[in-house]
């Protein structure tokens, strides 16, 4: 088992994840969201697509066995383990505008969007390209009749995790989310680990 890497509260990072490798995202302290973005390492115009993924899954809550598709309808990641069962794939990464429009009494912050843009800039990804990210551990229950939703604290407890297997060579952007409502009002780190293949998973 490889060592964990740590994403500090309200920050983000980017790294390569090759086809066949597994990425484990851990909510180390509990109640913390991590926005995950995937980009084709060979062509950064191909990215994770919420719309295509939810269309093919015919569900909005994804878990073990579900596949995450790109804007070109290629499978980028498969969820191979999930100890929580509640994640969000509807809402865009929090941003400076999120704080301006949704939070009256919070100091501004660049949010996950700014953190992803900064981390992915060296790979040639422009801020305006950043789509809806897969929001690990984010808890957004939707009313089945009206479609209204709430952003509630995550259901994840300390040590909960979700594991993704890459099906193409990817650049991954990953954050420890900065939005108060998504994280129960406190900002915690996110841990992650890359394993060479499925046999390395414990
Ligand atoms: Zn965020």
Distance 37 CA to ligand 1 centre (A): 12
> How many residues in total does the chain contain?
202
- The predicted pLDDT at position 197 comes to 72
| Position 177 pLDDT exceeds 70 | yes
In this predicted structure, what is the pLDDT of residue 1?
53
User: What is the 58 CA–ligand 1 centroid distance (Å)?
Assistant: 25
135 CA to centre of ligand 1 in angstroms: 8
In three-state secondary structure terms, 59 is coil
Residue ranges in 36-170 assigned as alpha helix (H): 50-57, 96-102, 111-120
Ligand 1 centre to CA of 34 (Å) is: 7
Residue 167 and residue 128: Cα distance in Å, rounded? 25
| 133-137, 181-185, 197-201: range with lowest mean pLDDT | 197-201
Q: Is pLDDT at 200 greater than 90 in this prediction?
A: no
Q: DSSP 3-state assignment of 55?
A: helix
In tens, the pLDDT along 32-68 reads: 999 999 999 999 999 999 999 999 999 999 999 999 9
Above 70 in pLDDT, residue 171?
yes
- What is the distance in A from the centroid of ligand 1 to the CA of 176? 7
- CA 199 to ligand 1 center in whole angstroms: 32
- Number of Cα atoms under 13 Å in the Cβ half of residue 183: 25
Distance 27 CA to ligand 1 centre (A): 14
Neighbours of 36 (CB within 10 A): 25
Residue 44 C-alpha to ligand 1 middle, in angstroms? 22
Among residues 38, 49, 25, 55, the alpha carbon closest in space to that of 167 is found at 38
Domains of the chain, by residue range, sit at 5-195
Q: Which of 13, 14, 19 has its CA nearest to residue 77?
A: 19
Ligand 1: centre distance to CA 52 (Å): 22
Residue 199 has pLDDT above 80, yes or no: no
**Average pLDDT value for residue range 153-167:** 98
**In the prediction, which pLDDT does 5 show?**
98
Distance 144 CA to ligand 1 centre (A): 25
Whole-model pTM: value is 0.94
**Ligand 1 centroid vs 105 CA: distance in angstroms?**
17
Residue 8 CA to ligand 1 center (angstroms) comes to 13
> What does DSSP assign to residue 127?
G
Q: What one-character DSSP code corresponds to residue 31?
A: S
Q: Is the pLDDT of residue 202 over 60?
A: no
Between 107 and 190, the higher pLDDT residue: 190
- What's the whole-number average pLDDT of the chain? 95
Per residue in 58-117, pLDDT (tens digit) is: 999 999 999 999 999 999 999 999 999 999 999 999 999 888 888 888 888 899 999 999
Residues above pLDDT 70, as percent of the chain: 97
- Residue 181: pLDDT over 60: yes
How high is the pLDDT of residue 190? 98
Residue entry with tokens 């680990």: 193
Distance between Cα 66 and ligand 1 center (Å): 23
173 CA → ligand 1 middle, Å: 12
């Amino acid at each position: 088992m490889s060592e964990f890497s740590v994403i500090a509260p309200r920050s983000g990072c980017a790294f390569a994840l090759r086809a066949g490798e597994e990425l484990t995202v851990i909510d180390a302290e509990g109640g913390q969201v991590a926005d995950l973005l995937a980009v084709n390492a060979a062509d950064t115009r191909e990215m994770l697509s919420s719309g295509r993924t939810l269309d093919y899954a015919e569900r909005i809550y994804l878990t073990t066995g579900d596949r995450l598709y790109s804007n070109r309808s290629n499978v980028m990641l498969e969820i191979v383990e999930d100890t929580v069962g509640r994640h969000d794939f509807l809402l865009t990464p929090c941003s400076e505008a999120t704080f301006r429009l949704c939070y009256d009494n919070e100091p501004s912050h660049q949010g996950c969007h700014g953190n992803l843009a900064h981390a992915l800039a060296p790979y040639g990804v422009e801020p305006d390209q950043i789509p809806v990210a897969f929001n690990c551990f984010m808890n957004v229950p939707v009313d089945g009749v009206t479609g209204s939703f709430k952003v509630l604290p995550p259901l994840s407890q300390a040590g909960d995790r979700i594991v993704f297997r890459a099906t193409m060579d990817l650049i991954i952007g990953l954050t420890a989310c900065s939005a108060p409502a998504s994280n129960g009002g406190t900002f915690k780190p996110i841990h992650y680990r890359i394993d060479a293949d499925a046999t390395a998973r414990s």
